[in-house]
Amino acid sequence: MDTPQKNSTHLPLILSSLALAGVAALFILKFMGNNDQPGQIQLPPSGQGHTIAYINTDSILANYDLVKELENQLKDKTQKMENQLAGRQKELDKEAEYFQKSVNNKSLSEQSAQEIYQQLMAKQQGIAEQKEAFRQELAYEDMKINAMLIDTVTNFLKRFNQKTGYDYVLGYNKTGNIFLTNDTFDITNVVLEQLNREYAKKNPKPAK
């Protein structure tokens, strides 16, 4: 009687697919409001139609402190899930190994062997179901994080645009639909600096 095969307990890191969704591809926003002091931005020449700027969303994802925190949280959660699954799988493997030895030594009756085998299969199924539940939970966390990031960046840009007055702010990345940009209209560094400044104010580091 064959020993139940070992399932892989590796869960893919959901954050590897983390993106700003609507912000990332061709994210066009028209803003209104009157708060917060923006950075040193030079507006595009007036009298030439709409004023446009863009942010590099790859850079936002790589350098925004909020993203780093969320990434660490997801890594910790994923690791705990993997450890839990690995522990259950290791225990099952030991039971399956002992069962196989007992079968080989003919120390079990056919009825007992069949009953134990069914129990082992049920445990293996339980591990598979838990793995899928974890996968769905991480996917849900990923969805919530995407929504949070979009909301955070959108609300910030609305405040940021009070003084700059752009008509449109585009989202640019290497895999998006914008193939050529003019660096004159790149406001990524200023936006990123102020995003991190706001984040630091709301999440002060504890004194050492």
**pLDDT, tens digit, for every residue of 121-136?**
999 999 999 999 999 9
User: Residue 89 is encoded by which pair of tokens?
Assistant: 């799988």
Band (pLDDT 50/70/90 cuts) for residue 48 is low
Band (pLDDT 50/70/90 cuts) for residue 4 is very low
CA dist 157 and 191 (Å) reads 8
CA dist 12 and 142 (Å) reads 12
The three-state DSSP-derived secondary structure of the chain is CCCCCCCCCCCCCHHHHCCCHHHCCCCCECCCCCCCCCCCCCCCCCCCCCCEEEEEHHHHHHHCHHHHHHHHHHHHHHHHHHHHHHHHHHHHHHHHHHHHHHHHCCCCCHHHHHHHHHHHHHHHHHHHHHHHHHHHHHHHHHHHHHHHHHHHHHHHHHHHHHHHCCCEEEEECCCCCCCCCCHHHECHHHHHHHHHHHHHHHCCCCCC
CA dist 81 and 74 (Å) reads 10
Band (pLDDT 50/70/90 cuts) for residue 205 is confident
Residue 42 has pLDDT above 60, yes or no: no
Stretch 75-90: mean pLDDT: 96
Q: What are phi and psi of 169, to 5 degrees?
A: -125, 120
Contact 148, 19 (CB under 8 A): no
User: Residue 59 is encoded by which pair of tokens?
Assistant: 């850079």
Domains, the chain, ordered by start: 14-202 (3.30.910.20)
pTM: 0.66
**pLDDT value for 23:** 35
The dihedral formed by the CA atoms of 149, 150, 151 and 156, expressed in degrees to the nearest 10: 90
Residue 46 has pLDDT above 90, yes or no: no
Residue 159 has pLDDT above 90, yes or no: yes
